[in-house]
Amino acid sequence: MVNCLIIGHGAREHVIGETLVNGGANLFAFMSYKNAGLEDLSKDIKIHSESDFKKIIEFCKEKNIDFVVIGPEAPLIVGIVDALEKGGFPCVGPKIEAAQLEGSKIFTRELLDKYKIQSNVKSKIFDSIDGVESYIKDMGEENIVVKPEGLTGGKGVKVYGDHLFSKKDILDYCSELVDKKNRFLLEEKCDGEEFTLQTFVDGKNVIGSPLVQDHKRAFEDDRGPNTGGMGSYSMEDHLMPFFNQNDVNEALRDMKKTVAAVKEETGVEYKGFLYGQFMKTASGIKLIEYNSRLGDPEAMNILPLLKNNFIDICWSIINGNLHQNYEFEKKATVCKYLAPEGYPVNPKKDVVIKINIEEIIKSKAKYYYASVYREGENIYTTTSRAMGVLGIAESLEEAEKIAETGVSCIKGNLFHRKDVGTRKLLQKRIVHMNSILNKK
């Protein structure tokens, strides 16, 4: 038996843990909140800060851990992998230098520029207000995205037309960043449809998985503030009606070039999961951002479809011997997140939620604990997304129905987006993509 440790406390880590256990692992979990799903799956757990590397190494020694999988980005970008590997514990996740692909938007844009990676977009770095106005003039204010350097939990990026509506808005936001001594990028705004391509990377090989589309906005019909993602879907052919195999190949080509560039530039191999968020535009595939981990919710769309043993994949990532023949079931998935009322602006925390486990099992939906904690027999909300519910079926319609039935088995002060995975929303995306491509 292999002793695996998962770091992290959300639904992404719950599904990673489940996939490891399905592969035959003895699971252990180290997390800052008690994820009930991970607690049930694990031989033992430790509730403690996910960035306390000394404590994690002690736990690894105590439990005789064979390898560690790191779920979230926060410990990755401060060097958890470097610390644990120094302590003798192999990790599935990039070292600090390589994790800059997520940790530093400036590092990524400069790298893509230097290595002439095609899906890059125009951008310029600023650390003062000097030159901002003339750059806006050159680009046209309606073509501007402002991105603060560093992790901003999805809240720092501001896009013209979504959050900024005039040159003054752009300048005000840039001045705010200058005042906070935060460097930032002004970046070319792309128009199109976004997709997530999650890959397994062993330093050289980059292996793709089914395409997923996430839903960032809090409310139905893509209204309301941005969130960590309210739900996501994937299709039985692993593509989307508006993304074809050529699009995937272009994205994969650039991810491979990026991984090679990271090695060339830093001397460090990128190992772990690499998440590419791309947009298909009238002028081709564009990179929106990289994440140095699996997506949340998107991990739930791919790991349950994996036909190969995930433990073998983890060892291959560590040992640098991934091959090309991994398989995912040809099924559709729909994941819906239940979030506390008021999320993301003013979420109601410490509210009890009730899960009718018997009914949810009957519905065939899978359910994953996210930012909720267990105390005694009860599950309570925190300030973030609470439960992920997943439907898997031969078609999107069926998967969506299963997810909705599953959602109806969870009660509490929660809301979700009924439209995720519906034909109606898919049709809207098809029309949007066609209008973009026809404008060419």
Least Å distance between CB 254 and ligand GLY?
18
Per-residue contact string for residues 287-326; x = within reach of ligand AMP by CB under 6 A: -xx-------------------------------------
Q: Which is nearer to ligand AMP, 157 or 248 (CB)?
A: 157
CB under 5 to 8 A by kind: which of ligand GLY, ligand AMP, none does 296 bind? Answer: ligand GLY
CB under 5 to 8 A by kind: which of ligand GLY, ligand AMP, none does 164 bind? Answer: none
In three-state form (DSSP H/G/I as H, E/B as E, the rest C), the secondary structure along the chain is CCEEEEECCCHHHHHHHHHHHHCCCEEEEEECCCCHHHHHHCCEEEECCCCCHHHHHHHHHHHCCCEEEECCHHHHHCCHHHHHHHCCCCEECCCCCCCHHHHCHHHHHHHHHHCCCCCCCCEEEECCCCCHHHHHHHHCHHHEEEEECCCCCCCCCEEECCCECCHHHHHHHHHHHHHCCCCEEEEECCCCEEEEEEEEEECCCEECCCCEEECCEEEHHHEEEECCCCEEEECCCCCECCECHHHHHHHHHHHHHHHHHHHHHHCCCCEEEEEEEEEEECCEEEEEEEECCCCCCHHHHHHHHECCCHHHHHHHHHHCCCCCCCCECCCEEEEEEEEECCCCCCCCCCCEEEECHHHHHHCCCEEEECCEEEECCEEEECCCCCEEEEEEECCHHHHHHHHHHHHCCEECCEECCCCCCCHHHHHHHHHHHHHHHHCC
CB under 5 to 8 A by kind: which of ligand GLY, ligand AMP, none does 314 bind? Answer: none
Q: Which is nearer to ligand AMP, 273 or 328 (CB)?
A: 273
- Does residue 66 interact with ligand GLY by CB under 6 A? no
| Contact between 195 and 213 (Cβ < 8 Å) | yes
- For the segment 198-257, give every residue that binds ligand GLY (CB under 6 A): 214, 228-229
State both tokens at 338: 């239940």
From 184-192, 258-266, 328-336, 432-440, give the range in contact with ligand AMP by CB under 6 A.
184-192
Q: Which is nearer to ligand AMP, 105 or 366 (CB)?
A: 105
- Do the bridges between strand 26-31 and strand 44-47 make them parallel or antiparallel, or are there none, so unpaired? parallel
- Does residue 145 interact with ligand AMP by CB under 6 A? yes
CB under 5 to 8 A by kind: which of ligand AMP, ligand GLY, none does 291 bind? Answer: ligand GLY
Sole binder of ligand AMP in the list 31, 57, 117, 190 (CB under 6 A) = 190
Sole binder of ligand AMP in the list 136, 157, 186, 299 (CB under 6 A) = 157
- Calpha distance 270→89 (Å, rounded): 17
Q: Which is nearer to ligand AMP, 67 or 160 (CB)?
A: 160
Least Å distance between CB 158 and ligand AMP?
8
- Does residue 216 interact with ligand AMP by CB under 6 A? yes
Q: Which is nearer to ligand GLY, 140 or 153 (CB)?
A: 153
Sole binder of ligand AMP in the list 35, 198, 199, 277 (CB under 6 A) = 277
CB under 5 to 8 A by kind: which of ligand AMP, ligand GLY, none does 295 bind? Answer: ligand GLY
Sole binder of ligand AMP in the list 159, 178, 260, 437 (CB under 6 A) = 159
Sole binder of ligand GLY in the list 82, 141, 298, 404 (CB under 6 A) = 298
State both tokens at 90: 């192999």
State both tokens at 201: 């990377």
- For the segment 73-132, give every residue that binds ligand AMP (CB under 6 A): 121
- For the segment 348-407, give every residue that binds ligand GLY (CB under 6 A): none
- Does residue 189 interact with ligand AMP by CB under 6 A? yes
- Does residue 212 interact with ligand AMP by CB under 6 A? no
Least Å distance between CB 438 and ligand GLY?
29
Sole binder of ligand GLY in the list 66, 82, 296, 400 (CB under 6 A) = 296
Rg of the chain's alpha carbons, rounded to an integer? 21
From 158-166, 245-253, 279-287, 294-302, give the range in contact with ligand GLY by CB under 6 A.
294-302
> Quick one: which of 213, 425, 417 has its CA closest to 332?
213
Give the interface with ligand GLY as residue ranges (CB under 6 A): 214, 228-229, 291, 295-296, 298
Give the interface with ligand AMP as residue ranges (CB under 6 A): 121, 145, 154, 157, 159, 187-190, 194, 216, 277, 288-289
